[in-house]
Chains A and B, each alone.
Chain A
């Protein structure tokens, strides 16, 4: 059974940094593309970033480009989202999700989410 567990969320001041982690299990992580999707309180889903299985390809939403960095460690089955220069509008639940080209750009499995609150 696929299991994705996010951690690292919390309250952070505007302009500061935070790193989210996602621990994956139950599937062959090293051949799976991964992504992050966020959901602001009471709002819809917004795609944030994704990374190919071998870290060669990384894509970002315009809203986070230049501030967020996605990475992964296949030896540890972990994916990360480094978030810098955080803004109030980055406040959201951040979901780690499994999927990419091989799944028709669909996210087949999701974590339970990690809440990031950006506020002074």
Chain B
């Protein structure tokens, strides 16, 4: 069960947009539209931000959006705010033999 590949860090200034990538394989990200994104603030539990590639749970600002192309999914945060500074993790379903796999996480800094 190999982890999905994310850049370790990303950054942007308030008001700007930033995109975080999540690369998997044709057996997970590329095979299913079951990519999720989580935000984790220091010392807190993760919070679901995006599910099924591009759907936002109730209460998540529409500044957060998701997409997928081939084996790579992306999370875009528009209109960056200071409170968006956190770690972001992607995950994907990968069939019964590789049920769920997470990315290594990306630390987002809002400069």
* Alpha-carbon separation in the docked complex, A107 to B47 (Å): 9
Within 8 A of A (CB), among B76-92: 87, 89, 91-92
B36 touches A62 (CB 8 A): no
Residue of B nearest to A98 (CB): B48
In the bound complex, what is the Cα–Cα distance between A44 and B91 (angstroms)?
11
Q: Is B55 among interface residues, defined by CB-CB distance under 8 A?
A: yes
Please tell me the size bucket of the interface on B: 20 to 34
Q: CB-nearest residue of chain B relative to A63?
A: B1
Q: Mark A101-117, 1 if CB is under 8 A from B, else 0.
A: 00111111111110000
A95 and B44 alpha carbons, distance in the complex (Å)? 11
Q: Is the CB of A47 within 8 A of B91?
A: yes
Q: Chain A interface: which of B10-18, B19-27, B95-103? A: B95-103
Contact partners of A106 in chain B: CB under 8 A: 34, 36, 48, 51-52, 91
The residues of A with any CB-CB pair to B shorter than 8 Å are 35, 37, 44-47, 50, 59, 61-63, 95, 103-113
| Contact surface of B with A, Cβ cutoff 8 Å | 1, 3, 33-34, 36, 38, 40, 45-48, 51-52, 55, 57, 87, 89, 91-93, 96, 99-105
